[in-house]
Chain A
Amino acid sequence: MNFLMVFKIAGRALARNTMRSTLTMLGIIIGVAAVIAMVAVGQGAKAQVEAQIASIGSNLLMVFPGSTTQGGVHAGSGSVTTLTQDDAQAIQKELSSIRMAAPSLRTVAQVVSANQNWSTAVTGSSPEYFVVRDWSFESGGPFTQSDLDGAMKVAVLGKTVASNLFGSQDPVAQIIRIQNVPFKVIGLLLPKGQSAMGQDQDDTVIVPLSTLQKRIMGVTYIQAIMVSANSPEETITAEEEVRLLLHQRHHIPPGQDDDFTVRNMTDIAAAAEASSQIMTLLLGSIASVSLIVGGIGIMNIMLVSVTERTREIGIRMAVGARGRDILLQFLVEAVVLSLAGGVLGVILGVASSRIISAFVHWPTIISPGSILLASFFSIAIGVFFGLYPARRAASLDPIEALRYE
């Protein structure tokens, strides 16, 4: 029997029962759409995490004061005052695996312009900060080593702070007051967006470390050192070297806990990436369940259809249809159902991904792989769940089928 003809017959049989065929397809449509949309959400989240990781800076290590607990959780950050700017300088100068190191001290402060005020995080650091964090300028530029040495009152603004204080106006050369101390704005950073933890990275003001220490906070310690290794491969060596150096500098006797903690941001990044990968898998597999449920729907309807059309099967057999002709007929019907459902599901899946992006503002990425996979699966489901009803139809006895009322 001609294959095209088989499809034509199947299509016609399905068209006769439009309502039922549509409802049956709906199971597959929803299943396929769910797989595509969920994988798109997962992939979008993964891409976002990757972008955020890139925004932290490359090959980054963080050194915090205080020791770690057993589980590697950083204890009492900020409460210990053992790190100094000298530690940061020593790391940069003495270690070969390190490209750059920048100290960091943060406080939350009220920042005031001529007619606006804004509460934000003020970070004190060295000019290396902008290199370590891979952060470029929209206008103006960074402060210099002599600004740092002289504890000059200059500030670099993040995009969020700038727009809250100055609107769309360029803030460079304007004066702001941080806790009543006047600062001259010398740079505006390019926006970086949210961090992996969901903080607005652009809601920040960066000033020379010495200025923050002496003129605002009145302290001598720092809260963290950001260390950038030469290459991703060297982060492990760098971590070890930093640990050894600080060990010496802080005169920690053997057997005693370190008074600092080194964390490899690449590890954290890898963990974040892995968890978003798991999320994609999880979402995808939950959606696959609905695809299987759709397949069971097809099987159910095909079984009903075989029973209803027993007499038709008998007539076809009486005029010479073989078991395999009947098998093919019902199998193709099931596959046409699932394939049509699959195609519509792809369309719905792509559309709902777009809608999620547009209205919920979740990034979604539709991968051709998931479309291919979903289409392949919808055919496979048609074959798998259609086979049993089709075999049942094919194994009918001609005379029994003809007698069926």
Chain B
Amino acid sequence: MQPLIQIENLWKIYQTGEIELAALKGVSLSISGGEFVAIMGPSGSGKSTMMHILGCLDRPTRGRYLLDGVDVGGLGPNDRARIRNHKIGFVFQGFNLLHRTTAIENVELPILYDGLSGRERAAKAGEALERVGLGDRRYHYPNQLSGGQQQRVAIARALVMRPSLILADEPTGNLDTRTSVEIMALFQELNRDGITVLVVTHEPDIARYAQRIINFRDGTIRSDQPISHHADAREVLSREQLESSKETEEEAR
């Protein structure tokens, strides 16, 4: 089967004045449709740089990137905008929601650029918000939502166009542990529905929910291993719930 993502000898060199900095040094990688991959590595190792290239937000200095068999390097800005719109959902560490814009309007944004009519747009966006458990927060503004809820809105926005790929760059970096697990549960659910998910994280606790862990160091891939027994975030959550309710029972006694 043809892989969803195939990159060959990818380089990214940043030029800052006189200084050249290679953020990616010949990375090659292949990811099949339906995988759930965690990307780990120390800060500055090139994880975000690669995610941006995979998300068609940035272009490599050298190397080839095939998405679904299409060489993205040969496409113009409008075609890449279309790929971002249709095939890819991006989730950022800092949420990147439009402020002073309601949750549902944030989720509608990608549909807007696909040219759908108002009613369909609202219906689809509402569905996506339901899916991330925020059906009752449609008309809340980002500053009226918690960090975890804001990230859910961002995820709803990422999945509303039914993309084949979701890229999340440290989506739990600004969240507490429990909320992080909830977000991972959401990704696992989406993955179960067939969406390929790539999550960047530097927390091993988060990475264990993936099926495969790729380690970055200094612009290259250090290791690339499947996890045979990955954790189920839903299970972890319900177990925790059970424990905490026991604790309150004991306290009550």
Q: Measuring CB to CB, which residues of chain A are less than 8 angstroms from any residue of chain B? A: 1-2, 5, 16, 311-312, 314-325, 398-399, 402
Contacts and interface: CB of A to CB of B under 8 A. Distances in A.
B109 A316 contact: yes
A1 B58 contact: no
25 contacts: A2-B115, A16-B100, A311-B96, A315-B96, A315-B97, A315-B98, A315-B109, A316-B113, A317-B84, A318-B55, A318-B84, A319-B85, A319-B109, A319-B110, A319-B113, A320-B84, A320-B114, A322-B81, A322-B82, A322-B113, A323-B78, A398-B84, A402-B57, A402-B92, A402-B96
Interface in B74-102: 77-78, 81-82, 84-86, 90, 92, 96-98, 100
Given A16-B100, A315-B96, A399-B52, A320 B57 contact: no
A323 B76 CA distance: 11
Given A398-B57, A399-B52, A402-B57, A320 B85 contact: yes
B47 interface: no
Contacts, number: 64
B120 to A, nearest CB: 11
Nearest to A398: B57
Given A398-B57, A399-B57, A402-B57, A321 B113 contact: yes
A320 B58 contact: no
Contacts of B82: 320, 322
B157 interface: yes
A399 B58 contact: yes
Contacts of A325: 113
Interface centre among A315, A320, A321 (most CB of B within 10 A): A320
Given A315-B97, A316-B109, A321-B81, 18 more contacts: A2-B112, A2-B115, A311-B96, A314-B96, A315-B98, A317-B81, A318-B55, A318-B84, A318-B96, A319-B90, A319-B157, A320-B114, A322-B78, A323-B81, A325-B113, A398-B57, A402-B57, A402-B92
Nearest to A4: B118
A327 to B, nearest CB: 12
Interface centre among A16, A311, A322 (most CB of B within 10 A): A322
B117 interface: yes
Contacts of B81: 317, 320-323
A53 B84 CA distance: 73
B100 A323 contact: no
A318 B113 contact: no
Interface string B109-147: 110111101100000000000000000000000000000
B207 to A, nearest CB: 24
Contacts of B85: 319-320
A399 B86 CA distance: 18
A312 B100 CA distance: 11
A20 to B, nearest CB: 15
Contact of B118 (A2, A16, A316): A2
Contact of A318 (B77, B78, B90, B118): B90
B113 A312 contact: no
Contact of A312 (B98, B110, B114, B117): B98
Contact of A1 (B57, B112, B161): B112
Interface centre among A311, A318, A324 (most CB of B within 10 A): A318
A314 B100 CA distance: 16
Contacts of B113: 1, 316, 319-322, 325
Nearest to A318: B90
Contacts of A2: 112, 115, 117-118
Interface centre among B86, B97, B110, B113 (most CB of A within 10 A): B113
Contacts of A311: 96
A2 B111 CA distance: 11
Nearest to B78: A322
Nearest to A322: B81
B98 A5 contact: no
A357 B208 CA distance: 82
B8 to A, nearest CB: 21
Nearest to A8: B118
Contact of B77 (A319, A323, A399): A323
Interface centre among B82, B92, B96, B157 (most CB of A within 10 A): B96
Nearest 4 pairs between A and B by C-beta?
Answer: A320-B85, A319-B110, A320-B113, A399-B58
Contacts of B78: 322-324
Contacts of A402: 57, 92, 96
A396 to B, nearest CB: 11
Nearest to B158: A319
Contacts of A315: 96-98, 109
B115 A1 contact: yes
A398 B112 CA distance: 18
A219 to B, nearest CB: 89
A2 B113 CA distance: 9
Contacts of A321: 81, 113
A154 to B, nearest CB: 85
Nearest to B52: A399
B113 to A, nearest CB: 4
Contact of B110 (A320, A323, A398): A320
Interface centre among A16, A312, A314, A402 (most CB of B within 10 A): A402
Nearest to B95: A315
Nearest to A314: B96
Contacts of B161: 320
A368 to B, nearest CB: 37
A402 B110 CA distance: 16
